[in-house]
Chains A and B, each alone.
Chain A
Amino acid sequence: MFTDRFLANRRGVELTSEERALLESAISEVRTLEPRTTLVRAGEAIEISTLLVEGMMSRYIDDHKGLRQLVAVHVAGEFVDLHAYPMHRLDHSIGTLTGATVAIIPHDSLQVILAGREEFARKLWFSTMLDAALHRAWLFRLGRLDAVGRVAHFLSETNARLQAAGLSDGRRFALGLTQSDIAEVCGLTTVHTNRAIRQLREADLCVFKSSLVEIIDAPALAKRGDFDPHYLYLAPSE
């Protein structure tokens, strides 16, 4: 099923089989996208929301010179723009970072499957509130952490999100981002990012090589990045 990873391992919002079937039934189309493809441009009216099935995508804002700032990264199992359902247009653009598979859900269909199902609606609302929690964490990262800390925080966060989606074993995960992408996420230059990654490797905290992240010491990496996963609302591990 395309929705298997949606809200997986999140506290108190696991979809029932009926809810998952409803969400699956609302999918109108499944698309495969090339890396670096813009799916939605800021300001354009949209009548669909997009569930990321495979790959990584970003929300981004271009400045007046056309320089891009990544304001969110999404992993498989997450809606990239569920907030478009009530808002009808976005204040940011959406694009793929890696090759991606997405499931398209028209807003008309969302309205139908949510009608009279307050608990289901609460779970989708939770999903957008989780986005807001991530934005707060990103503000904290950019405002309070040094260069190495920012990269450590981002890698710890991504590891936790991918682990919730079943795409990391907690020690190793595929990360199809370039150092330039990580630089944009962390508000650093590529020179600074390259050095921060090297310092994390030299400190035996983690290694990022050939699109693969290997975490050597997860607690120490989290400590270096001042990372506490409470804002991800993960289900307690069994």
Chain B
Amino acid sequence: MSDPRTTQPFDSPGVASVEEGHVVLDGPDGIAITLTIEAARQTGESLVAAADAAARQASDS
């Protein structure tokens, strides 16, 4: 049986916080990862760029 909560994109954001000099990302859903400062910075930039591209894609369609 398909559960839309696990097969659809998440519409709630994750929460990033600081722990022991690392960036900890919790959520959405069961996401739980720890990143170094540089990895967090690059991931954040990549996410923003992808979100901008997705927004353009949505407005074009």
| Contact indicator B30/A191 (Cβ below 8 Å) | no
Shortest distance between the CB of A179 and any CB in chain B (Å)? 12
**8 Å CB contact of A145 from B20, B30, B34:** B30
Report Cα–Cα, A231/B34, bound state, in Å.
Answer: 31
Q: Interface size of A by Cβ–Cβ distance < 8 Å?
A: 15
Q: Is the CB of A191 within 8 A of B27?
A: no
- Tell me whether chain A's interface is mostly helix, strand or loop, or mixed: helix
Q: Which of B18-49 contact A (CB under 8 A)?
A: 19-20, 22, 24, 26-27, 29-34
For the A-B complex, the count of residue pairs with Cβ-Cβ distances under 8 Å equals: 37
* 8 A Cβ contacts from A144-202 to B: 144-147, 149-150, 187-189, 191-192, 194-195
Give every chain A residue within 8 A of B30 (Cβ-Cβ). 142-146, 149-150
> Which residues of B lie under 8 Å from residue A143 when comparing CB positions?
30
Chain B residue, CB-CB nearest to A189: B34
Nearest-neighbour CB distance to chain B for A189, whole angstroms, equals 4
Q: Is the CB of A191 within 8 A of B32?
A: no
- The CA-CA distance from A46 to B33 in the complex, in Å, is 37
Interface string of A211-235 (1 = CB under 8 A from B): 0000000000000000000000000
Q: B residues engaging A (CB < 8 A)?
A: 6, 19-20, 22, 24, 26-27, 29-34
